[in-house]
Amino acid sequence: MYEEDPSAEEASALGLTVEEASGPPAEILPENQTTVDVFIAMSTQWRTGMGGPIGLDYNALHLVMRMSSIRRDEWPFVFDGVRAMEAAALEKMREK
């Protein structure tokens, strides 16, 4: 995603420190690339409560998938992957 290390603001938007967001990129299996792209596109759609992020706004998910030209028959697979990534992200954000 980054050609250089992200700024503190960019890392914070992902719920990470600069150190956590830096370094070599993670390898993404080809069958998961679409899901990762959708998750990244949803990065501005976090719902928050008094304790911080509580989850993604799924109302925007279908629009993101449509605008990304994802075939409708792929939506269930992508949705499941986004939910798994969301759960992992929330767990990481709550560690702080």
User: How many angstroms separate the CA atoms of 2 and 8, rounded?
Assistant: 13
Question: What confidence score (pLDDT) does residue 21 get?
Answer: 82
Question: What confidence score (pLDDT) does residue 61 get?
Answer: 97
User: How many angstroms separate the CA atoms of 68 and 36, rounded?
Assistant: 12
Question: What confidence score (pLDDT) does residue 92 get?
Answer: 87
Which residues share a beta bridge with 49?
Answer: 52
Which residues share a beta bridge with 55?
Answer: 47
Question: What confidence score (pLDDT) does residue 2 get?
Answer: 42
For the chain (96 residues), the mean pLDDT of every run of 10, in chain order, is 73 81 84 96 95 95 96 97 96 84
How far are the Cα atoms of 24, 34, 56 from residue 77, in angstroms, in the given order?
A: 27, 10, 17
* Stated pTM of the model: 0.75
Question: What confidence score (pLDDT) does residue 90 get?
Answer: 95
